[in-house]
Amino acid sequence: MSGNRQHYNETFKRETVKYVQEQSKTVEQIADELNINPGTLRNWVKKYRAFEHEPVNHGETLRQQTQLIEDQKREIDDLREEIAILKKAMHIFSKEKN
């Protein structure tokens, strides 16, 4: 079982990690795009990441994140409307009766 192992230089690895950090794609998508094993790419990210605590997109794509933000905006708008209605109702019921 002698496979041809690819050897990549340090510059390629660093540029690839930079590419991973700039993209909104998952590590698996980029690994597939570049024909690199996803595990190898994850190891490179751990080793060559410029900012230690910078998040790397592992699962959610940009589309999923955008959908989540839109859902949250709709929920916030609904809650604001409910608050406005409750304020009006409180004002009406708190008036003194003649």
Q: Tell me which amino acid residue 34 is.
A: L
Q: Who's near 21: CB < 8 A, 6+ residues apart?
A: 45, 49, 50, 54, 56
What is the helix (H) or strand (E) element at residue 19, kind and residue range? helix 10-22
Token duo for residue 77? 């708008």
Per-residue pLDDT tens, the chain, 98 aa: give them. Answer: 445 777 888 888 888 888 888 777 888 888 899 899 999 988 988 888 766 555 555 555 667 778 889 999 999 999 999 999 999 999 998 887 75
Tell me, what's the pLDDT at 66?
81
Task: Report, in angstroms and rounded to the nearest whole number, the Rg of the chain calculated over CA atoms.
Answer: 25
Give exposure, 61-91, as e/b (b: 16+ Cβ within 10 Å).
eeeeeeeeeeeeeeeeeeeeeeeeeeeeeee
Record the pTM: 0.48
Cα 21 to chain centroid distance, Å, stands at 11
